Amino acid sequence: MNREVIWDEKTSYFRKIAEETKILGWITDSDGYAFYFSSAWRDFAGVDPALPVGFDWLSFVHPHDTARVRRKFFDANDSAAEYGVSYRMRTKAGNYQLVWGHGVPRLDDEGNFQGYLGMTQTMEAYRAKAEAIVEAGGLTLIKPLSERERQVMTMAAEGLSNIEISMALEISERTVETHVRHSVEKLGANNRVHAVAKAIRLSVL
C-alpha cells in the first residue's frame, strides 16, 4: 500500500537533482519506509516505475548481506544518525554488484528526524569519481592507515559495530574505538561514516 507523501522543499529539490543527474537516489520517512527511488535506481534494479518499493528494497540486497544491512540501517534510523554501508545489490540483469549506500538525516525546522536523503553508488563508480578528485588534488590521505586500522575500517564499511569488530579481531572495544579515531584523523574525516566513505574513495579499503 502506498503511503501518503508530502513533498517539502528539501525532498522536492533532492528529487529534482537525482532525476537530472541520474544518480541512484532514494528518500525515506522517519520509519525507514522508502517513498522515493530515482529513475536511475529503478532502472539499475529493474523495478517498474509504477510500483512502490517501501521496505522491499532489502529484497535487492544479497541474502548473505541482508541481515547486516537491515540492522545497520535501522540502528542508524532509530538514532537519527548518518548511515553508510557497503553491500551487494541485485541488478536488473540478475547479478550482484558491490555498492555503497549512504544516507544523510533529513530534519525539519525544529530539528526532528524526518528520514533520509540517500544515494547508492557502485564501488566502481564511487572509486572512479574519487580518482578524478585525487588527481585534481582535492582528496588526500593525511597519513597512511596501519594494517590494523585498515582491517577495522573495512569491517566498519561492512556495517559491523565496534563491539562486533572487537570480537572478530579479538581485541578490546576500546582498542577498536582508538583505531577508528586514528583513522578518522588520518583521513581528515568528520566522523566514522565519513572516514569509511573517504577510505573507499581513496581505494584504501
What's the CATH number where 14 sits?
3.30.450.20
Confidence grade of residue 3 (pLDDT, cut at 50, 70, 90): low
- Residue 18 and residue 101 in one domain: yes
Mean local confidence (pLDDT), 162-181: 93
> Could you tell me the CA-to-CA distances from 90 to 39, 47, 124, 126, 156 in Å, in that order?
16, 11, 15, 17, 22
pLDDT of residue 200: 74
Q: Across the chain, what does the average pLDDT equal?
A: 86
Asked whether the predicted pLDDT for residue 38 surpasses 90, the reply is yes
CA 23 to chain centre: 14
Cα–Cα distance for residue pair 189/20, rounded to 1 Å: 29
Look up the pTM and report it: 0.67
Q: What are phi and psi of 57, to 5 degrees?
A: -60, -25
Express as a percent the part of the chain with pLDDT over 70.
86
Mean local confidence (pLDDT), 77-85: 93
- Reported as a single tens digit per residue, the pLDDT across 96-141 is 998 989 999 999 889 999 999 999 988 776 555 545 444 444 555 5
- Residue 109 and residue 159 in one domain: no
> Which of 26-30, 50-54, 117-121, 174-178 has the least mean pLDDT?
50-54
Residue 4 placed within a domain: no
Instruction: Write out the residue range of the structural domain in which residue 197 sits.
Output: 140-201
pLDDT of residue 159: 75
C-alpha cell at 166: 572487537
Residue 144 placed within a domain: yes
Contact 35, 9 (CB under 8 A): no
**How many domains does the chain fold into?**
2
- Residue 38 and residue 114 in one domain: yes
